[in-house]
Chain A
Amino acid sequence: MLICESYHVPKRLEEALALWADAPEGSRLVSGATDILPWAREGRAGDVEIPALIDVTKIPELKGYSCDKGRIRLGAATVYQDFLTDRTLMTNLPCMPYCAIWFADDQIREQATVVGNLVNASPVADGTPPVVALNGEIELTRLEDGAVKRRTVPVVDFIEGPGRTTIQPGEIATAVTVDSAYGYGGSFQKVGQRRSLVISVACCAALVRADSTGTMFEDVRLALGGVGPRPIRLRDAERRLKGERITQELIQRVAESAADSVGSRSRKEYRRDVVVNFVRAGLEEALANQPEIGAKFKNFGETENA
């Protein structure tokens, strides 16, 4: 069980940063708390005694989202359920609803935050690939001589390995800023031990925008999770698709070449198969999920889930 000496709910960012900077060793930041509570149980961390828990979800600056110059700043208190209820987020971040619907369940999604998911830096975090595909940058905030200082780091560089990030002592992740992908089709592929309420073995996010005739790839974004210690952006695959005519053969060829991106040591052959199928299915579904602007490429035949 999780035992803490104190539980702080700061209402101002400066207050949270000061508490965090002065927190005794072993203290933790809490966002949704959906990961820390199951962690402190038998079979994982067991009984854990923590000096202070600092809850950052009641800080106004961390709530909600804002839009500027084609980018969307998601406050750290943004929960996964928002991607299924907020029309602006659904249309501008079209891969997120598909990620969210397979993420835990409605109730956990009401609490679990995207930024918390990123900071935990699990190699199989569902949130990482779609955020990486959206060119996500995490915002890290600290106090320096009493002043609030911010820096941003691309998520693809922020996560260094399982549970390891470039966050520094005293820093709080306050937001993640992502591209608006308005007009793109999005999709999310995931496979785990079972279909529902389960952590991924591997996952893939795709974003696609075809040209006005619906026959050419105008832009493509592909990112993988669970196939290595860090998130993977398939830049090479994206380059090979962009500006090309949309054909089943091209999709298949590019999908097969993605198998080499698997860096995991365990179940490597399985993961290579999964990646090939995920990239293909991800592209096909993202194409099919494009909003009604212009013609769509349809001739996919039967799609199989991996």
Chain B
Amino acid sequence: MPKIDLTMDVNGRKVVKQTDPHKRLLDFLREDLNLTGTKEGCGAGECGTCSVFVDGKLVKSCLMPAAKADGAKIETIEGLARPGSLTPVQQAFHKTGASQCGYCIPGMVMAATSALRENPDAGIEEIKERLGGNICRCTGYTKIFEAVEIARDVIAGRLPETALDEDATGESFIGANVRRLDAPSKVSGRLKYAADIKMVDMLQMQVLRAPMPHARIVSIDTSEAEAMDGVACVITADDVPGTDGFGVFVHDQPVMARGKVRHFGEAVAAVAAEDLVTARRALAKIKVEYEELPGVYAPEDALKPGAPVIHDYAQDNVIKHIPIRKGDPEKGFAEADLILEDVFTTQQVEHAYLEPEAGIAYVDHDDVVTVLSPSQNITHHRHMLAEILALPINKVRFIMSAVGGGFGGKEDMIYQGMLALAAMKTHRPVQLNFTREESIVASAKRHPSKVHYKMGLKWSGEITAIEFDMLSDGGAYGMSSEGVMRKAAILSCGPYEVKNLKVDTKVVYTNNTPSGAFRTFGGMQAQFATESMMDMAAEALDMDPFELRRINMMRIGSRTHTQQELTTASLDRVLDAAEAASRWEAGAPKVRGPRRGDLGGPDTRQPCTLGARIGEPTVTPTNDERVAS
């Protein structure tokens, strides 16, 4: 396609460049000018990692064609401060620790800078409003808002510049602002994530994904794609030289679909080409013939006799069953004055880290296959990849790039194998950057679960027995499922001493997106069931929910569900602190009437209501604002 000429003032420097007409301002800054402090988190204007100033106005550069910015004055995160220095906003972010994974932070700094330029006296509600187009997943907004308020007051002279210095910490770091060592690299946009790194002669990879959840692959014809100009290679499962299979516990997942696809969006083939557009066009030329198979989409259905089998090795579709037995549940229920039964379900959840999966692979001068990616488990990945590539371990190397948020979602080796194969086939560096849509369709999710719960209690509040039966949807591959079930079982009945219990956690294969590691690793699903049950029990017993928990809590000397004797325990202090901090109204749930007095207090966060800047609802108009009738 014919190029276009663009002229811009970028961070005070005149830039004259030829580029492709389809490029977005984001692409032009990152690819043509190497200004990678501006990130791509979603490409759809939702997240704000790509915020830049265009002629003084903050915009999302993923929503602006580069040609629209022709002739404009552009300011990016790299241009805010002179090299080696930080603006007051950046210093304030450094001070308050407002940079965890750091991927959203350049955009946040830009939005904060814009907010204070637009209104140097913006109150906290207006600051929240003006930062509303930027999403953070791990730092948390509290530190960010605190940073903006400090910066505002320093810029306005209401606070001395020393307010940007590091806080003194006493004996405890808790409750104090603690600087993070790597914050300057994040608030300045200098930290390179995998998608920010370029290598000489590097190819771009794109992945063809399954359009259906369960199908036999009859044939894959890559010849037309391979024949295209600019295509360096096309890879499929046939290119795997060693023992194909990865997973945290069971190695049931091939690098790319092998013989059949087991979930929608599973990788089927991949192209490495000179540029992204060529790779995208080549994907459209790959012909795959599928024979659709009946699928399983509910865990209960996976266990039915005659259910479609998803993996040959597991004819019953069970990935893992973890049973725990303690005491005599039958006797415990016989002793109970009250037996409660209920079902608790939780849904699939996406991690939604701001950094989509990205990586580079290359074969180095010593024939070491090297993969750079934000992997949360590089040593295990290295061992698995050596088997897959049939290489000795010293010929496989993993480099962990800066992780722009993981939460467990980057523990699975879902794309590193493809990168390695393409690098070996071409002997050139190969990069793959997921789109947000691809990240959502292909990465593991939190396990959806269903818990059948039965709890026996005395009128005194003492729990006499619990039956806890969890069925989880593992999706198409095992990934971390076994570990998640173990943790769910261990934590099942909560921090309460239960003498008689019967716990079963089971995870099965379905044709849904695979489930994997996600913060709490099964604990959340179990605690949702247990703590809900405790509140319902308090209601049934006409007892204060805190009181019920104190009666049953684990103490020093208690035996856990897995028979460990505790030598320390802190739940008593935790409950006291939570009760005080929440201004809890003591009493059984029903004594409060229709309105609770302990909700909506001064330190609770109110829902967002926009419009702070419209100000007083009454605008006092001046005569010259009136349009003549």
Residues of chain A at the chain B interface (Cβ within 8 Å)? 1-7, 9, 30, 32-34, 37-38, 41-43, 47, 53, 55, 57, 67, 69-72, 81, 84, 87-88, 90-92, 94, 97-98, 101-102, 104-108, 110-111, 180, 182-183, 195-197, 288-292
Contact = CB atoms under 8 A, between A and B. Distances in A.
Contact of B22 (A3, A94, A101): A3
A91 B132 contact: no
A34 B25 CA distance: 13
Max chain B C-beta neighbours (<10 A), residue from A37, A108, A180, A292: A37
Nearest to A305: B609
Max chain A C-beta neighbours (<10 A), residue from B276, B620, B621: B621
Interface residues of B, number: 53
Contact of B21 (A5, A37, A197): A5
Contacts of B60: 107-108, 111
Interface string B253-280: 0000000000000000000000011001
B142 interface: no
A18 B133 CA distance: 37
B619 A90 contact: yes
B172 interface: no
Interface in B146-161: none
Given A84-B614, A101-B610, A47 B284 contact: yes
9 contacts: A6-B1, A38-B44, A42-B437, A87-B625, A88-B625, A91-B625, A110-B58, A110-B59, A180-B626
Contact of A67 (B22, B621, B628): B628
Interface in B1-23: 1-2, 4, 21-22
Contact of B44 (A41, A94, A106, A195): A41
Contacts of B611: 97-98, 101
Contact of A37 (B1, B62, B613): B62
Contacts of B346: none
Contacts of A1: 22, 276-277, 280
Contact of B610 (A30, A57, A196): A196
Given A5-B21, A6-B2, A106-B133, A37 B67 contact: no
A107 B58 contact: yes
Nearest to A88: B625
A287 to B, nearest CB: 10
A41 B435 contact: yes
Contacts of A43: 437
A56 to B, nearest CB: 11
B24 interface: yes
B206 to A, nearest CB: 10
A33 B68 contact: yes
Contact of A195 (B68, B607, B619, B620): B607
B45 interface: yes
B627 A4 contact: no
A70 B629 contact: yes
Interface in B131-172: 132-133
